[in-house]
Structure 1
Amino acid sequence: MSIVHVTTKKELREHLNTKKVVLLNFWAEWCGPCKMLAGVLNQLSEEFSGKIKIIKVNVEKSPDIAAEYKVMGIPNSRLIIHNKSYEPIIGYVPFEKLKQMIRV
């Protein structure tokens, strides 16, 4: 499954309307740790193909969405399972640790 990039609240709502586990990631192009995490997200996308949905939100292009989720620093990710958002995952997280958190 590919990684989805959203820029509007409407797009986000449409993509959150799923029975799959969602990993919502807030990032920016200039952010070094975000670039490192992008590789991990690509690995997760391949490993859990069809089982999870990864949604990326660029905080500079969609500050309204970032504000709604109270994003104060990036990278900032959230696991959303059965429409329940869990505690933010702040900063870079290695593949194996993130994989354990997903538990699909």
Structure 2
Amino acid sequence: MSVVHVTTKKELSEHLKTKKIVLLNFWAEWCGPCKMLAGVLNQLSEEFSSKIKIIKVNVEKSPDIAAEFKVMGIPHSRLIIHNKSYEPIVGYVPFEQLKQMIGI
């Protein structure tokens, strides 16, 4: 499974050095939609571990990373492909729709 939790910018930069599609997910413990999305992300990770790496950032533990990515609401996810960051995906997204958005 390739779901990784990071808390520092250094950890994040190390995990971004991958040939896989990265889905960067910002969340918090108290966020209901974040918990719902976590199940979707785990399913994505299990089914497509050879193609995608999911990196989770808790906004309360790493506000500096959240600020860098201009996170205004959660859940907030961002696709990063070959170090290029795409438009954010804000809110809960069902599995099939997220899979389609990612293109896998």
- In the alignment, the residues of structure 1 paired with residue 101 and residue 82 of structure 2 have an alpha-carbon distance, to the nearest angstrom, of 15
Partner in structure 2 of residue 50 of structure 1: 50
Partner in structure 1 of residue 24 of structure 2: 24
The Cα shift of 1:14 comes to 0.2
Partner in structure 1 of residue 84 of structure 2: 84
The Cα shift of 1:98 comes to 0.4
Secondary structure of the structure 2 residue equivalent to 1:98: helix
- 2:2–2:52: 8 Å Cα contact kept in structure 1? no
Runs of 4+, deviation exceeding 2 Å: none
Partner in structure 2 of residue 98 of structure 1: 98
TM-score by length of 1: 0.97
* CA-based RMSD: 0.7
- In the alignment, the residues of structure 2 paired with residue 55 and residue 63 of structure 1 have an alpha-carbon distance, to the nearest angstrom, of 15
Partner in structure 2 of residue 9 of structure 1: 9
- In the alignment, the residues of structure 2 paired with residue 18 and residue 45 of structure 1 have an alpha-carbon distance, to the nearest angstrom, of 15
- In the alignment, the residues of structure 1 paired with residue 48 and residue 99 of structure 2 have an alpha-carbon distance, to the nearest angstrom, of 9
After superposition, residues 68-83 of structure 1 pair within 5 angstroms as 68-83=68-83
Q: Which amino acid aligns with 2:5?
A: H
- In the alignment, the residues of structure 1 paired with residue 67 and residue 22 of structure 2 have an alpha-carbon distance, to the nearest angstrom, of 19
Deviations 1:24-71 (A, max 9, x none): 000000000000000000110011012110000000000000000000
Alignment coverage as a number of residue pairs = 104
Q: Which amino acid aligns with 1:44?
A: L
Q: Which amino acid aligns with 1:38?
A: A
